[in-house]
């Protein structure tokens, strides 16, 4: 079944059943189709995976009774989700902590790069070197800052989307046991449009290139300036 046919049947059945919030429901399925199409699935495959649109529409009928069995199943599933939620909470704390670490790396790298350029040495934390070498290493640190910033953005988007997907799964499981509507599952990774995806990829590749080149060039220039391969010993960096 094509996407247009799927939505035509779905919308007609929803309206025939006098379901509220039809536009919101259609929007959820529209998002699902868009995500899956971006993953390379065909319209027919997505529609087949979702199932009969008439059956999907009927689940939004508010007149469907909730049985005692559904209530007991909901209690059992609720107990199981208590343990699952504890585990997932710890997982998301770790993931968001990693995002903060990447953000801190981006900020600290940018700060060091600026110190190299401006020849500022706070508390003598930056090792002594010729200004030409410092300029090259400033490019190295600023490239690392940009690379870390891109990683921070993508990881934050990924964790946020993963959280939304888990909450949708959480909601759907309880909805299924209560006879309530079940919405399409959400993707577990960021859904960026092609333009933003290309931008992030381009920025990451460019910064990675500058990162690698500036490190190699910086090492060569420092070695030539110091007249030794282990130039850090000549400049007494670790004394």
Please give the chain's pLDDT, 239 residues, in tens. 888 998 889 888 888 887 877 888 888 888 888 878 877 788 888 888 888 888 888 877 654 454 444 555 666 677 777 888 899 999 999 999 999 999 999 999 999 999 999 988 877 778 888 999 999 999 999 999 999 999 999 999 999 999 999 998 888 887 777 667 778 888 788 877 778 888 999 999 999 999 999 999 999 999 999 999 999 989 888 76
pTM of the complete model: 0.74
Q: Which tokens go with 183? A: 């919405």
Longest C-alpha distance within the chain, in Å? Answer: 85
Q: What is the pLDDT of residue 71?
A: 53
Q: What is the pLDDT of residue 14?
A: 85
Q: What is the pLDDT of residue 81?
A: 76
Q: What is the pLDDT of residue 112?
A: 93
∠ at Cα 67 (62, 73), nearest 5°?
110
Q: What is the pLDDT of residue 195?
A: 84
Q: Which tokens go with 215? A: 């490190």
- The residue among 214, 196, 182 whose CA lies nearest residue 70 is 182
């Amino acid at each position: 079944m094509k996407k247009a046919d799927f939505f035509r049947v779905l919308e007609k059945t929803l309206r025939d059943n006098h379901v509220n919030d039809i536009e919101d429901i259609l929007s959820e399925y529209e998002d699902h189709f868009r995500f899956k199409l971006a993953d390379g699935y065909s319209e027919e495959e997505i529609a087949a995976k979702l199932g009969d649109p008439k059956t999907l529409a009927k689940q939004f009928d508010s007149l469907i009774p909730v049985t005692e069995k559904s209530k007991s199943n909901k209690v059992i599933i609720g107990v199981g989700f208590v343990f699952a939620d504890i585990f997932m909470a710890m997982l998301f704390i770790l993931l968001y902590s990693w995002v903060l670490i990447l953000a801190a790396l981006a900020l600290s790298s940018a700060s060091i790069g600026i110190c190299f350029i401006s020849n500022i040495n706070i508390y003598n934390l930056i090792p002594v070197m010729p200004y030409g070498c410092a300029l090259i290493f400033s490019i190295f640190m600023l490239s690392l800052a940009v690379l870390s910033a891109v990683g921070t953005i993508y990881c934050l988007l990924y964790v946020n989307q993963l959280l939304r997907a888990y909450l949708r799964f959480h909601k759907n499981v309880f909805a299924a046991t209560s006879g309530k509507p079940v919405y399409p599952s959400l993707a577990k990774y960021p859904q960026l449009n092609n333009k933003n995806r290309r931008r992030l990829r381009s920025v990451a590749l460019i910064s990675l290139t500058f990162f690698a080149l500036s490190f190699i060039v910086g090492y060569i220039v420092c070695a030539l300036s110091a007249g030794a391969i282990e130039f850090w010993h000549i400049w007494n960096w670790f004394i």
